[in-house]
Chain A
């Protein structure tokens, strides 16, 4: 038994045999991924000396990528869990596209950490010698649990649609049908199954919301718990969290616009959805600038020597160009576009979202590097210098290609719009007690 959805055929249409275009794109993205992996192997053999990392700049582009990917990963939970709790029904067509960003960004966030470690096998030291005194362990716990829970949340909400693919898609290769059979776990579409699924997803949404707040706060505490200038502030948690939700939501806009165009989903992903996200983006950009001003005003007003070195470096020194570009890209230009141009215009929405994400990557960079280049113990550690090398850029390109590759591959095998969640009619569930009570009333 499957839910009735008038758009079922449109949603299932992208799932077909891969075209030449698909194969070419897979080949290109896979090629970049392999190139990055070979750069990683070279780094493993020769050591971190092939990167721009040095003393005192221990965290560079890799950790920038880590924070950025974890930020992107907030999109799914925000759209799916937080808006679910808030009872926002318009989110339904967007949920899976957003959750897929979460699911496919997280592995590359983790891979960024492994790349930064130089010797990735030492990650097992966390299990053998881990101590909760270290914020790295807090991070490992929160990100690991978030990843696990995201997989389950994503899979459970996908379950009825996998069963739909199993029963409806008869012209796909045999292995693909077998895959649907295995992954559907014998789902029958019984009304009570839907009822239970909704209950579990509602409960998990609350848990996921708590996790999403915890994860990015803990990520920020890796910085905030040190005494480095620019990092040691209580505001860093909410600031990171808001930035993550902003970049995640902007990433959802980009993904939806591409899906809408490539898979001709205009009827399902209508303009009204984009207008709703536009309002959210305006709110988040305003929230972000508030945090930005609060953060820098507090530091500037305090006028502490070590903090001012970093602040001046950002405002008018070595990193001024990146800092002001970031402010324009995340706030200045997008907020004008979103308010004056983006209403009922997807192209402008996408432009603003791309600018926001480029700006957010720069923001992560500008938070990390200037504080490391001018550490608190400047006379002892000495003035640092950091220039990312080709190895770091190659690995960065590889991780982004990997994300696109996974996302694209997923959309070719599974419906990217939830059929059962957007259905007009779900199989109706009648609890047994209710049936009995009705039978007594009617005298049956």
Chain B
């Protein structure tokens, strides 16, 4: 499969967009949870 067909499939296949959205939202949630925990850990002994 060449690159143009891959790009075409990405933009036109039903459901691919939904999967991308879910990935983006899940990734963002994980990053935000990690950042919140990192802030709260500040100043507690034995933890960086």
Which B residues are CB-close (under 8 A) to A141?
A: 20-21, 24
B39 adjacent to A132 (CB under 8 Å): no
**Interface residue? A130 (CB, 8 A):** yes
Find chain B residues with CB under 8 A from A131 CB: 11-14, 16-17
Distance of A132 Cα from B11 Cα, bound (Å): 5
**Which of B10, B15, B28, B43 is A188 in contact with, Cβ under 8 Å?**
B43
Q: CB within 8 Å of A: which residues of B?
A: 10-18, 20-22, 24-25, 28-29, 32, 35-36, 38-40, 42-44
- Total interface residues in chain A, CB < 8 Å: 32
**Which B residues touch A132, using CB under 8 A?**
10-11, 16-17, 20
Alpha-carbon gap, A126 to B24, bound state (A):
14
Known contacts A137-B21, A144-B21, A185 near B40 by CB under 8 Å = yes
The answer to whether B28 touches A193 (Cβ under 8 A) is no
Contact of B36 among A126, A185, A190, A192 (CB under 8 A): A185
Q: Output the least CB separation between A161 and chain B (Å).
A: 14
Inter-subunit contact B18/A152 (CB<8 Å): no
**B5 → A minimal CB distance (Å):** 15
A127 partner residues in chain B, CB cutoff 8 A: 18, 21-22
Residue contact A128 to B15, C-beta cutoff 8 Å? yes
Instruction: Write the nearest CB–CB distance from B30 to chain A, whole angstroms.
Output: 12
Question: What's the Cα separation between A190 and B45 when bound, in Å?
Answer: 11
CA of A127 to CA of B18 in the docked complex: distance in angstroms? 4
Q: Are A145 and B39 in contact (CB-based, < 8 A)?
A: no
A 127-148 binary contact with B (CB < 8 Å = 1; else 0): 1111111100100110011001
When distances are taken between beta carbons in the complex, the residues of chain B under 8 Å from A156 are 35-36, 39
B25 → chain A closest CB, angstroms: 6
Which residues on the A side are within 8 Å of B35 (C-beta)? Answer: 152, 156, 200
Least Cβ distance of B19 to chain A in Å?
8
Closest Cβ neighbor of A140 among chain B residues: B21
Bound-state CA distance A194–B43 (Å) is 10
Query: In the bound complex, what is the Cα–Cα distance between A192 and B35 (angstroms)?
Result: 14
Q: Is the CB of B17 within 8 A of A193?
A: no
Expressed in whole angstroms, the Cα–Cα distance for A132 and B35 within the complex equals 30
Q: Which among A131, A140, A185, A197 has the greatest number of chain B C-beta atoms within 10 A? A: A131
Q: Which residues of A contact B (CB under 8 A)?
A: 126-134, 137, 140-141, 144-145, 148-149, 152, 156, 159, 185-188, 190-197, 200
| In the complex, residue of chain B having the shortest beta-carbon distance to the beta carbon of A127 | B18
Could you pull out 7 A-B pairs where Cβ atoms are within 8 angstroms?
A126-B17, A127-B18, A131-B16, A132-B10, A148-B29, A190-B43, A193-B40
Query: Is A145 touching B24 in the complex (CB atoms < 8 A)?
Result: yes
User: Bound complex: CA of A187 vs CA of B20, how far in Å?
Assistant: 34
The listed residue (A144, A187, A190) touching B25 by CB distance below 8 A is A144
Q: Which residue of B lies closest to A194 (CB)?
A: B42
B39 partner residues in chain A, CB cutoff 8 A: 156, 159, 193, 196-197, 200
Asked if A152 meets B32 with Cβ closer than 8 Å, knowing A144-B25, A190-B43, the reply is yes
- B17 neighbours in A (Cβ, 8 Å): 126, 130-132, 134, 137
Nearest CB to that of B37 among chain A residues? A185
Do the beta carbons of B25 and A130 come within 8 Å of each other?
no
Cβ of B10 to closest chain A Cβ, rounded Å: 7
Q: Chain A residues with Cβ under 8 A from B16's Cβ?
A: 130-132
Bound-complex Cα distance A144 to B13 (A): 21
Chain B residues lying within 8 Å of A137, measured Cβ to Cβ, are 17, 21
Closest chain-A Cβ to B20's Cβ sits at a distance in Å of 7
Bound-state Cα–Cα, A165 to B10, Å: 49
